[in-house]
Structure 1
């Protein structure tokens, strides 16, 4: 039982070190932003973390676009859907 507790404490310490490293990196990035952009992160209601998309590579074409609307009975939803289709067809011929 004591060994299990020691292992749990070690794992917790390791996880907190990793989180601190990420937090310091994020703070470094925010610190390097222009003043007007830095101000947008002051008092952020959520924790600012590194992007999950840093190493993202898009798959090769052809790409597909999917937009799901729950209800097309409102004119503004129909307009938004039409505009999204127009924009996507310009980007993905």
Structure 2
């Protein structure tokens, strides 16, 4: 599931149609879905093995951390932070050359 979401994120990021500003919410939603993709396996595990074992033995905290980081990144992306405060200063790989 995470591979499919990852491929979807890559496809949407490269697709020229989704580069437009009006599709920013779709790209951010895909990142949030990727972050929340751990809910289904966690729910299944808690039903089969129990919530106590999920929390105490099987690193549920890492799943929560993953979800938080994906959602936090999507919020940063959707709100255009830090680019709107420092335009052009945060580009690492795709810096436009001045002519």
Which has the larger share of helix? 2
Decide which structure has the larger Cα Rg and report it. Answer: 1
Alignment TM-score, normalising by the size of structure 2: 0.30
Higher relative contact order (CA 8 A, sep 6+): 2
* TM-score normalised over the length of structure 1: 0.31
